[in-house]
Amino acid sequence: MTDSPQLLAGKVIVLSGVGPGLGRSLGEEAARLGADLVLASRTQKRLDKMAEVVRSHGRRALVVPTDINDEEGCQRLVDAALAEFGRVDCLVNNAFAIPPMEPLTTIKHDALRASLETNAFAPLRLSTLFADALEASKGSIIMVNSAVLRQSQLEFAGYKLTKGTLVHIASSLASELGPRGIRVNSVAPSWIYEDVNKAYFAWMAEERGVTPDVVYDEIADRTDLKRLATPEEVAQATLFLASDLASAVSGITLDVSCGEFHGY
């Protein structure tokens, strides 16, 4: 891999959600681009593993086990980040919970509420608590959304409801926090070719009696580029919004779908 330009040199990024796939790539790509990271997740082992990756790129990593649905825990995250680094330049809200894949008329409302708590209210909570620090640095907030926003499949309805709520939160925060110098943007990846989806493709292939390559090709054929994005590509597009190259970009939702969807 070639050396990356240090687009995020000197910046401190708070990353919520460091699980497999995109979360892992966001952490590693941010470090490769020169950022120090504050890593927030509930699982200590996962946090420690991500911190090792960040440090392997010569960057600093602060591990803060956090339940983002807990107000006091989120405040401790803010305090720990500022105590360690003295500043925060970007908050990346990546943590999420998938509700049951059912139509809205059959989904259990308690399950939907739980997903809304993680997918919408937790990013709002973190954004609110980090606002003063981000104002001081003229920083930014990035909401990791999903191209489920562009879908109408019945089984995606609950997921779309939570992510639709999140995109409206981001839009409102962009207007509310903009006068304080804080940019707020969203990124909406479609299918990401990583371990979780690879396993899903393998399951679908087995159910149909075909190979995983057939499933991949069918889904990739919906895109202009005839392929699916890698987690590294989605992470790079996301982190562009954290860089100074995007200093005049706020209030947008950036599709990262290899051309599956065309936004206007």
Cβ-Cβ contacts under 8 Å for 141 (sequence gap 6 or more): 90, 91, 93, 127, 130, 134, 170, 173, 177, 182, 183, 184, 185
pLDDT in tens, 212-224: 999 999 999 999 9
pLDDT at 100 over 90: no
pLDDT in tens, 45-79: 999 999 999 999 999 999 999 999 999 999 999 99
pLDDT tier at 191, thresholds 50, 70, 90: very high
Bridging pattern class, strands 90-93 and 12-16: parallel
pLDDT in tens, 169-190: 999 999 999 999 999 999 999 9
Comparing 35-39, 84-88, 260-264, the range with the smallest average pLDDT is: 260-264
Average per-residue pLDDT in the chain?
94
E strands within the chain? Answer: 12-16, 36-41, 61-65, 90-93, 140-144, 183-189, 253-256
Rg (CA), the chain: 18
